[in-house]
Amino acid sequence: MPKIRILQEDLINKIAAGEVVERPASVVKELLDNSYDAGATHISIDIQEGGINKIHIVDNGEGMDKEDAEMAFKRHATSKIQQIEDLLNLKNYGFRGEALATISAVSKVTLKTRKKDQNLGTEIKIEGGQITLTTETGAPQGTSILIEDLFYNVPARKEFLKATSTEYKEILDIVDSYAIANPGTGISLVHNDKTIYNLPSDDKLEDRIRSILGSDTFEKLIPLFFEHPHLEIYGYVSKPELASERKKRQYIFVNKRPINNRSIAFNVKDAYGSLIPRNSYPVFLVFLDLPTNVVDVNVHPRKEEVKFSNDQFINTSVRSCVKSALNRTDLTPGAQDKGVPRSPFASPFVKNPFSPPTTPQTTKTSKPFSDPFWNAPYADPFGGMDDTLTPGSGMNSNFLQIHNLYIVAETETGLLIYDQHAVHERIIYEQLISKHQKKNQTGQTQGLLTPIVLNLSAQESTILAEHLETLKEAGFEIEEFGGNSYKITQVPAILSQFDIKGIIHEILDDLEEHQETKKVDSQSNKILTYLACRSAYKAGDLLHQEEIAAMIEKLKLADIEYTCPHGRPVKIELTWKELSRMFKRT
């Protein structure tokens, strides 16, 4: 008996699905490929539960007749290429003829489609790769494809799916990138019956990017230009101030195809040189238009990567194009950002580390002591202090900031060294958590004379919406303000002097990176920890002496004064004994 056999068609398709259909977002990607390839001028996407229950995509493209509609679900069935040379002149996203075959092998599919010149359309139902219904139907021109119960017949695959919110964000990433690549096609996205966006079919690239990234981000982008007979580069890179530790919002499009490419990403980042820290990454949208015959699109099962015939030329061009964009731009942070420094003392009054710090008096932002928290300890920073928990009471009233990072204080038993970020972080965290836990506590919030408006991306807005309750309980008053905008009218008093807009953007960044916690408790703790961390003074912030005194005083009232919310030490002590030993005095 021979032991080698050809596998059954539906098993082949299930195996192929393993490569092509990794998760709901890959289904969305393949279906979008098809709708754009069909010349649609409008595409609507409706998903339920992160696409696991339902993905419904409707386009007004060319549609299919009955024969093609049945054929489309066969493996290696495509209208896009006929011979290998066609790959060198490919104008479509698709070419493998695999997507519909593999998707229908692992889900329940309902297709309705009608070609322009036909009166009746076709409806086809397929379950697990088997056609269960083919019938004529009335249908608008174009194609509607409904995918239900993804992986219902491949339980092992279903196990690998993440939380629906994570799957949803993966889909949003895909839809965002296709929407940016095709500004001239209208696109709407609905998740769990909520419209996430609905964009017109005559957007310019600029409008589209603004809608997708949110105008807060768009306003910090710099346009790119580069022209060569065989290569055009355009798009945007961010001002250095938008760089973050996360590689987010980094889009590369090759002939409008969204791709990943590490060397292009590296060259964009490298062009910033010392404008951004080494472990920081800019936001960018780099479009490369070049002749199709110098790009190999057939190098990745999900078509996420391409290969260039001349990598080096592409990389050097990207790099010099980004460099010249940065060089010709005034990179000073925008006026609204300049006005509200993170530390109230990081102001022009104390910018020069060699001049003695002066307490700023005039402007609102430079008057940190108007807030009740900062006011209290000033008259006598150490009066009535309970020292019992601190080793060595009776501190010397002279506080010293060193390295713009540590605070050194003399006590009876030795030297206390504080980490200014950790101290401040602990204090802010405790204020926020106490407000959050005792929900009705009053007196620790501050109304804003001018509300702060956040113009977010759909991605950021989803994350903010998930944490809105926690933020409200911690003292924020935030309302939805149409689309993906929010209005902040009240903030926790302890944060009232800081750049709230910047801080919120930073915590959204943090939260986007760490999506996995599902428990509500740890979710609120997480956002309060991030909030404290992002608001606290950083290493390098020059602090005023009274500010240091108030901070140390406040730390003593904290429930836990030894570690920051992440568990790092807030202070360490070097005793006189230890010092004597080190200097061999004993």
Length of the chain: 586
Can you read off the two tokens belonging to residue 552? Answer: 């140390």
Angle at the Cα of 508 (from 506 to 509), degrees rounded to 5? 65
Report residue 446: phi and psi, to 5°: -135, 125
Q: Which does 272 bind (CB under 5 to 8 A by kind): Mg ion, ligand ADP, none?
A: none
Can you read off the two tokens belonging to residue 436? Answer: 């959050």
27 touches ligand ADP (CB under 6 A): no
62 touches ligand ADP (CB under 6 A): yes
* Minimum gap (Å) between residue 34 Cβ and ligand ADP: 3
In the window 376-395, what residues touch ligand ADP (CB under 6 A)? none
In the window 91-120, what residues touch ligand ADP (CB under 6 A)? 94-101
- Strand order from edge to edge, sheet including 186-191: 130-137, 121-127, 108-114, 142-148, 54-59, 42-48, 186-191, 194-199
Nearest-CB residue for ligand ADP: 94
143 touches ligand ADP (CB under 6 A): yes
144 near 57, Cβ under 8 Å? yes
46 touches ligand ADP (CB under 6 A): no
Q: Which does 488 bind (CB under 5 to 8 A by kind): ligand ADP, Mg ion, none?
A: none
Nearest to 456 by CA among 489, 483, 490: 483
182 touches ligand ADP (CB under 6 A): no
Q: What number of other Cβ atoms are within 10 A of residue 130's Cβ?
A: 11
Q: Which does 96 bind (CB under 5 to 8 A by kind): Mg ion, ligand ADP, none?
A: ligand ADP
367 touches ligand ADP (CB under 6 A): no
244 touches Mg ion (CB under 5 A): no
90 touches ligand ADP (CB under 6 A): no
59 touches ligand ADP (CB under 6 A): yes
Report residue 277: phi and psi, to 5°: -60, 160
72 touches ligand ADP (CB under 6 A): yes
- Identity of the residue, 26 or 347, whose beta carbon is nearer to ligand ADP in the bound complex: 26
Q: Which stretch binds ligand ADP (CB under 6 A): 27-35, 133-141, 278-286, 383-391?
A: 27-35
**Cβ-count burial 230-263 (b if 16+ within 10 Å, e if not):** ebebbbbbbbbebbbeeeebbbbbbbbbbbebee
Can you read off the two tokens belonging to residue 31? Answer: 């279906």
Q: Which stretch binds ligand ADP (CB under 6 A): 34-42, 156-164, 248-256, 473-481?
A: 34-42
CB contact set of 50 (below 8 Å; sequence gap of 6+): 24, 161, 163, 164, 165, 166, 167, 168, 170, 171, 191
In the window 64-123, what residues touch Mg ion (CB under 5 A)? 94, 99
33 touches Mg ion (CB under 5 A): yes
- Identity of the residue, 20 or 265, whose beta carbon is nearer to Mg ion in the bound complex: 20
Q: Which stretch binds ligand ADP (CB under 6 A): 14-22, 73-81, 173-181, 413-421?
A: 73-81
Cα–Cα dist 144/122, whole Å: 10
Residue ranges in contact with Mg ion by CB under 5 A: 33-34, 94, 99
Residue ranges in contact with ligand ADP by CB under 6 A: 30, 33-35, 38, 59, 61-64, 72, 77-80, 94-101, 143
